[in-house]
Amino acid sequence: MNIRNILWWFSFTVLALLGQMFFPGVDLLVAGLIVSMQEERKRQSIILGVAFLLIQEGAGSLAFGAGLAWYGMAVILFIGGRWLFEARNIMFMVILGAALGVWRFVLVSMLTALQEYTFSQELIFWECVHQALTFPLMWSLTAALRPRKQESNAYSV
């Protein structure tokens, strides 16, 4: 990763974390991980995935493993969905966002039950709806702002 790429992802991470202050319970970083995976840069995606995982695990109140399960499922859903849809298709991102919203509800419900936390199911439900709705928007914004590589075409005049 070159310095401009590192600075871009650092800026994205800071802005996404600031955004999460306004949307509590919504992970805005996961859209960046998906954009990185769409670029097919394995090393970059692994580094970002680990960084985002550590950030979310450190900031969260659930037992260790929630972030791992969250990002793990995001990766599995993306890889699995890529077989059925074009990886950069907005409809795929809407479906992925909905699946992540459902997964978030299931994950939080399971982990809070294991930790014997009491929580408002209605509050968690609406956070999951916000996750499902904000994911495609955040993905669109991230993909649009991401610098593109110059493609060299040997046949161009």
Q: What are the pLDDT digits (tens) for 73-120?
A: 999 999 999 888 887 888 999 999 999 999 999 988 888 777 777 777
Q: What are the pLDDT digits (tens) for 116-143?
A: 777 778 888 988 899 999 999 999 999 9
Average pLDDT, the chain: 85
On whether residue 60 sits in a domain, the answer given is: yes
SS3 30: helix
Inter-axis angle of helices 66-82 and 42-59, nearest 10: 150
Exposed, middle or buried: residue 39 (CB in 10 Å: 0-12, 13-18, 19+)?
middle
On whether residue 151 sits in a domain, the answer given is: no
On whether residue 152 sits in a domain, the answer given is: no
pLDDT(156) > 50: no
Q: Which domain holds residue 125?
A: 3-145
Instruction: Work out how many domains the chain is built from and give that number.
Output: 1
pTM of the model: 0.84
On whether residue 100 sits in a domain, the answer given is: yes
On whether residue 48 sits in a domain, the answer given is: yes
Cα 51 from Cα 14, distance rounded (Å): 12
On whether residue 156 sits in a domain, the answer given is: no
pLDDT of res. 101: 93
